[in-house]
Structure 1
Amino acid sequence: MGISGDIVIRLLETVPPHKIHKIYMDNLFSSYNLAVALKDNGFIMSGIIRSNRLLGCHLVDDKILKKKKRGSLDYKVDSNNNIIICKWFDNKSVITISSFMGINPTSRTKRWSVSEKSFINVEIPAIIQDYNAGMGGVNLHMLIELYSDIKWKRFYMRIFFHLLDSCVMNSWLLYRCHIKQKDDKYISLLSFKARIIKRLMMVGKENYGKEGKHNLKIEKKRKEIE
């Protein structure tokens, strides 16, 4: 399986097999051999796969897909193991592999067209839709890098602040899920971090707005009751 594939196998040792668990992964981990091994162990998977891990599966060249309209694709199916590999072209080509999801049903999604300067409809296969819906928090967690540009000379400081950023990122993701359930509009990650910083700067200060004064009154009443 290679190092990355062995990691997936090791992590799944604690997960009960043959319970129709869907495993999603990015191109660091996914490979054809891993998809076959997971299926033999009772797991189904979907992921982005690198072109050098296709084991002789030849797909249409990127230049040919680029000449066609956005949303064009090419795919091959291993009928023995029921595994599909699909190359889909949007702004660039993306290769996906799945042991349970195929091309159909296709749907349409909105994409911005630079040439037409407007949104256009782009056909998207089911295998891509499923991966986008199930890729989970690993890819989202990479958003940490958006606002973590500080260079630390001491490695342990980098580890410490990365852990803090991870806590903030997980908090924002949970907050976003909660707001979506309420059909409300959530604030951006940058605004979320700015609010946390502002709150931390307010700690110990009495004059920091109506909300802060209200909280201080509640705290004083709590102490009086105690």
Structure 2
Amino acid sequence: MKKIIVEYVAHQDVIDISNVLWKDYKSVMLLSTIVSSEPVHSVKRYDRQTKTTLQLQCSDIISQYNSYMGGVVLLESIVGHYKIVLRSKKWYFRLFYHLLDLSVINAWLLYRRVSATKCLNRNITMNLADFKVEVVPDLCKTGKQTLGKRGRPSKLHQQFAEKKKKGPAKHIPPSDIRLDQMQHLPQLNDKS
């Protein structure tokens, strides 16, 4: 067996960070604070050039990654089915939408697990699209409490209410005065 594992360990505060490079068909580099390259396992790989099966050394971090990567791959494939597609130039909106997708999918997976333990018929459980349709109205209703307005209280709405009570703002002149711009006064008798 060839030596195909290279490990570098860094100490940050009280945490050991292990950086492991493993050469399979291509180089694979992993970073971990939990596992390191020890203990070393042996795995079988098919060599295309010699057309034989070889025994290679495989570090513990690689075997741990291979055993637990299925959940992440499954979650990402489920996210891809019904993803929130809203374009934005701001990176944090995209991150928020992705985290919202992840939380809804985790809630759906928990719903399926609970419904599988409570009832024997699997046809009762909702699929992901129906679950999202059920969740959306509830998410839209949250946070719509009628709280007082923030900031200084405005007197503008009180002024509008007072004007409505008073009536029109100006006296409207009769139509004959409005049309010729002159006020017709009654004729006084001249006693001259």
TM-score w.r.t. the length of structure 2 is 0.36
More helix by share: 1
Rg larger for: 2
